[in-house]
């Protein structure tokens, strides 16, 4: 149940996958919405506070997720050799985009040496500051990578549904409940 098997994923992988997906779509919507707010909006400061706090938490979760994943076997991938390869590349790309977004988000916030407060509990210090136009350039990367991740993950979801509905494989089911 905890560990992955040749047939399915364990609970930690499943929980982290769906928590991450929820956080990512939530952060995307929040990020988009909060940057359109007027200065007098009560959420003008709260939006970024939640966005950064959840974003840093997601980073911690992602590090855990990657470590956990590398300590285990992974279930046998479905489909043809090429489908398996495409799935592998797609999953790696999802992680790469996610890490790129989190790194660029961090660089926006810390461009002038301020740290990032996480739910007001502690502060992540600024390590890289003062690069030329840091906040603006990191912001561009953040935006395009976020769009890329959301589009890719929608494609990822579509393929998952295709495996489930058309191929009638347990791809989606095993990402919802551990199979022994």
Interacting residues with another protein (CB under 8 A): 38-40, 48, 108-109, 111-112, 114, 133-136, 139
How many residues touch ligand HEM under the rule CB under 6 A: the total is 46
Using rule CB under 6 A, residue 129 touches ligand HEM: no
Find out whether 90 and 22 touch, Cβ atoms under 8 Å.
Answer: no
User: Which residue, among 52, 54, 53, 51, has the nearest Cα to 30 in the 3D structure?
Assistant: 51
Distances from the Cα of 169 to the Cα of 7, 162, 164, angstroms: 12, 9, 5
Using rule CB under 6 A, residue 99 touches ligand HEM: no
Rounded least distance, CB 57 to ligand HEM, Å: 9
Distances from the Cα of 159 to the Cα of 10, 49, 69, 118, 179, angstroms: 21, 34, 22, 35, 20
Q: Phi and psi (nearest 5°) for 118?
A: -110, 105
* Among another protein, ligand HEM, none, residue 118 binds (CB under 5-8 Å by kind): none
Rounded least distance, CB 73 to another protein, Å: 44
Place of tokens 């022994």: 180
* Among another protein, ligand HEM, none, residue 17 binds (CB under 5-8 Å by kind): ligand HEM
Based on the number of CB atoms within 10 Å of its own CB, is 65 exposed (0-12), middle (13-18) or buried (19 or more)?
buried
Residues of this chain that bind ligand HEM (CB under 6 A): 13, 17, 20-21, 24, 27-28, 31-32, 35, 48, 51-52, 55-56, 58-59, 69, 75, 77, 87, 91, 94-95, 98, 101-102, 105-106, 108-109, 116, 139, 142-143, 146, 149, 153, 156-157, 160-161, 171-172, 174-175
């Amino acid at each position: 149940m905890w560990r992955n098997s040749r047939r399915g994923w364990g609970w930690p992988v499943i929980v982290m996958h769906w928590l991450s997906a929820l956080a990512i779509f939530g952060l995307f919507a929040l990020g988009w919405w909060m940057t359109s707010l007027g200065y007098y909006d009560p959420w003008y400061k709260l939006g970024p506070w939640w966005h950064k706090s959840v974003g840093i938490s997601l980073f911690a979760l992602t590090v855990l997720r990657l470590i956990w994943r590398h300590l285990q076997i992974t279930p046998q991938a479905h489909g043809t050799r090429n489908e398996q390869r495409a799935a592998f590349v797609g999953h790696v790309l999802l992680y790469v985009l996610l890490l790129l977004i989190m790194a660029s988000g961090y660089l926006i916030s810390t461009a002038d040496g301020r740290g990032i407060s996480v739910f007001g509990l502690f502060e992540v210090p600024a390590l890289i500051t003062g690069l030329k136009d840091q906040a603006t350039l990191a912001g561009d990367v953040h935006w395009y990578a976020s769009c890329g991740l959301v589009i890719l993950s929608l494609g990822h979801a579509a393929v998952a549904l295709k495996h489930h509905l058309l191929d009638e494989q347990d791809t989606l089911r095993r990402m919802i409940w551990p199979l022994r």
